[in-house]
Amino acid sequence: MHGPELDRLVAEARRQLEICNACRYCEGYCAVFPAMTLHRAFSDGTLVQLANLCHGCRACYHACQYAPPHAFAVNLPRALAELRVASWESLAPPAGLGRFVQRRAGATVLALLSALAGMFWALASLRPPSGTGFYAHLSHGAMVAIFLPAFLLPLALLARALRDFWRLVGGGRVRLRHLRVALAEAASLVHLSGGGQGGCQFEKGDRPSQARRFAHQLVFWGFVACFASTTSATIMHYALDWPAPYDFWTPPKLLGVPGGVLMVVGGIVLASLARRADPELGSPAHRGGEAAFRVLLVSVPASGLLLWAAADTVLQAPLLALHLATVLAFFLLAPYSKMAHAPFRFAALVRAAQEREAAGTPRGAVRASS
């Protein structure tokens, strides 16, 4: 994990965290500060770990007496965001691809258009002689042939990236109890609650708001429901010999339709919050890439819902192509897009649980007097 830009980002995060470590006023906001206090000096790996623990809630920026225009220029949400995304870029192989997708909105558009062209081609040239529902347009076998690798390849790449991350941050053997702690923190998004002050300080300047936590929960649980929907359909197809199409009162639809709606609503809210948020408190270089990712995130469930609504109409074939293209692009880009935040954040939470346990105390020493 090296290069002139990464070195600069690491050095800047280190400079700022050394100030924070002497101050510690923000200790109550999130997991970053208690983890920080366990260190006296920050290795590159520790900095990457702290960057991935940060949820970008921006509370520490608004609280900081050293924020610009102070000469110390502490802007921790930005320093950590820049290092965080740069760490994903450098950890997800092949080198350069993450950089391209994370920074350029055009990369996601290009991926989507290519996937769309590919799907139209598949629909046109692989059209099965018979079949019902979607399978009238593309056979089940063809879908599996396209999507199984498109699903497994990014997973394998992410697994590799996570292994390298784990080495870099000096992670130890993962126990069930570490996973339990991390899972509870991830599922509740407790670190977007601002340490009990009533949320992030993201889209309304220094006023706390729960909007971001709430919208992220919609997307997260919507995603889980959609995933469960696909899983249930797979089980029904293979184990119960009950192929699609499914009507509304079956698990794939009962999970998929509300899940899709949650994702669309949550994704649109997240996008509008991001538009209102101050770009200077995030990573400006990654703003375009992030915005494109949000569009992709919404377009997957939105096209799925449209497809469901357009069943048995002339729009079914083009909407099928669109939906499959968004899914394809979403999965193939996962290691290189903002989606990477999910596995890395989770790994960082696991690592933080380990570190707390090893330290024996939940928090480090604090300067008492003033």
- 277 interacts with ligand SF4 by CB under 6 A: no
Q: Which of residues 166-195 bind ligand SF4 (CB under 6 A)?
A: 191
* Interface pick for ligand SF4 out of 10, 35, 54, 352 (rule CB under 6 A): 54
* Interface pick for ligand SF4 out of 28, 43, 62, 66 (rule CB under 6 A): 66
Q: Where are the alpha helices (H) located in the chain, listed in sequence order?
A: 4-23, 32-36, 44-53, 59-63, 76-91, 97-103, 105-125, 140-168, 176-188, 211-238, 251-276, 287-309, 316-333, 341-359
Range in contact with ligand SF4 (rule: CB under 6 A) among 72-80, 88-96, 99-107, 112-120: 72-80
- Interaction mask 63-82, other proteins, x per CB under 8 A: xxxxxxxxxx----------
**Angle formed by the axes of helices 316-333 and 140-168, to 10°?**
20
- 79 interacts with ligand SF4 by CB under 6 A: no
Shortest distance in whole angstroms from residue 47 CB to ligand SF4: 12
Shortest distance in whole angstroms from residue 193 CB to other proteins: 11
What does the CA dihedral 337, 342, 343, 349 come to, rounded to 10 degrees?
A: 140
Q: Choosing among ligand SF4, other proteins, none, which partner's interface includes residue 30 (Cβ < 5 to 8 Å by kind)?
A: ligand SF4
Q: Choosing among other proteins, ligand SF4, none, which partner's interface includes residue 207 (Cβ < 5 to 8 Å by kind)?
A: other proteins
Integer Cα distance of 31 and 192 in angstroms: 10
Range in contact with other proteins (rule: CB under 8 A) among 17-25, 85-93, 155-163, 180-188: 17-25
Token pair in block for residue 127? 């059209």
Token pair in block for residue 191? 């670190």
Contact 78, 281 (CB under 8 A): yes
- Interaction mask 42-61, other proteins, x per CB under 8 A: -----------------xx-
* Longest alpha-carbon distance in the chain: 80
Integer Cα distance of 47 and 58 in angstroms: 18
Q: Look at residues 39, 7, 5 and name the one whose alpha carbon lies nearest to residue 20.
A: 39
Q: Choosing among other proteins, ligand SF4, none, which partner's interface includes residue 56 (Cβ < 5 to 8 Å by kind)?
A: ligand SF4
Q: Which is nearer to ligand SF4, 63 or 285 (CB)?
A: 63
- 196 interacts with other proteins by CB under 8 A: yes
Token pair in block for residue 194? 């601002």
Integer Cα distance of 223 and 242 in angstroms: 24
Binding footprint of ligand SF4 on the chain (CB under 6 A): 19-20, 23-26, 29-30, 32, 54-60, 63-66, 74, 76-77, 80, 191
Binding footprint of other proteins on the chain (CB under 8 A): 18-19, 21-23, 25-29, 40-41, 59-60, 62-72, 194-198, 206-207, 361-370
